[in-house]
A and B are shown apart, each in its own frame.
Chain A
Amino acid sequence: MTHEHATPPTSARPAPPGIDPRGPRVGAGLTAVLLAVVVLLGATTAGLVLLAVVSAGFLLGAVRGAQGTVQGWLFRALVRPRLGPAADLEDPRPPRFAQVVGLVVTGVGVALGLAGVLVAVPWAAGIAFVAAALNAVVGLCLGCELYLLGLRLRPASGAARAR
């Protein structure tokens, strides 16, 4: 369903086909469990390897959208057949942006871990865990909340230099 009122930005750009909004939330729950295991493994090689696996999943999601991840496939294969049809479809771009945010956070952890700073692994996993769990439990997309702040910071610093 699209809304037909006024001339919103949503209709100014052709929206890609909608996805089941429960998919990204179930996926975030699965991701949160994996990240919790990374936190429990702590600053170890095993933790680094698992964080790299999670990070690779975020890379898939950043390129193909949240529905293109292993978690998205599990949702379609195992969870959705047991649920009723979605009341409403969701634009796939917000969840995909969230995957990019997850990729950046876990990617920094993996890069630092590979560089020998293993203590960064549980830290990155902890931050990503809070974000993924919030997404799964209350539907809060932390990265989306920060998006406007990021937008506002960028040109503001440019304007400050110009002055």
Chain B
Amino acid sequence: MAAQPAVLAALVLLTAVLGLVWRSRQGRVRTVRRNGDVDWAAHGVTLGERATFVQLSARVCAPCRATARALADVAGGADGVVHHELDVEEHLGLTRELAVLTTPTVLVLDPAGAESARSSGAMTVAQARRALDAVDAVARA
């Protein structure tokens, strides 16, 4: 049968398209505006004076580790910025409430606890700084 090489070629093409789309979306910062109706203190999150990174992670998620390091790095180098990592298994209700579908998902909160930006997938230090800029821009507006 000559169909099998064609099937394999189609699978390779599908893999390439999926891979490129997925990679281009990693850590991309989306500016959002959601009201701060989440009781963050109840989830153990203390808000930073400038911004708060809330990272939703899972045990089976390898990019969560690298993202946590990048965010801890940025939070450590900026005044009033804090980073919290929550396990989705322990905060399932929160993931539903916030429509989180994948890990890591990072919410960037303004000083009042309202979500100002969001990013899914492995996040770099540069992307985290850009997310901070987004929060500052919202705060000035």
B60: which of A21, A39, A88, A94 is its contact (CB, 8 Å)? A94
A130 to B8, CA, bound (A): 10
Scan residues 61-80 of chain B and give those whose CB is less than 8 A from a CB of chain A: 61-66, 68-69, 71-72, 75-76
A-B contact count (CB 8 A): 131
A82 to B68, CA, bound (A): 30
A93: which of B23, B59, B72, B100 is its contact (CB, 8 Å)? B59
Would B59 and A137 count as touching, CB distance under 8 A? Answer: no
Most chain B C-beta atoms within 10 Å of own C-beta, residue among A122, A138, A148: A148
Give every chain A residue within 8 A of B19 (Cβ-Cβ): 133-134, 137-138, 140
Would B57 and A9 count as touching, CB distance under 8 A? Answer: yes
Q: How many residues of B contact A (CB 8 A)?
A: 49
Scan residues 46-64 of chain B and give those whose CB is less than 8 A from a CB of chain A: 55, 57-64
A89 to B68, CA, bound (A): 14
Give every chain B residue within 8 A of A145 (Cβ-Cβ): 102
Closest residue on chain B to residue A88 by CB atoms: B66
Q: How many residues of A contact B (CB 8 A)?
A: 45
- Measured CB to CB, the closest approach of chain B to A21, in angstroms, equals 7
Give every chain A residue within 8 A of B83 (Cβ-Cβ): 5-6
Asked, given contacts A1-B69, A133-B12, whether A8 binds B1 with beta carbons under 8 Å apart, the answer is: no
Would B92 and A6 count as touching, CB distance under 8 A? Answer: no
- Measured CB to CB, the closest approach of chain A to B56, in angstroms, equals 8
User: Which of A57-65, A71-79, A149-157 forms part of the interface with chain B?
Assistant: A149-157
Chain B interface (Cβ within 8 Å of chain A)?
1, 3-5, 7-8, 11-12, 14-15, 18-20, 22-23, 44, 55, 57-66, 68-69, 71-72, 75-76, 82-90, 92, 95-96, 100-103
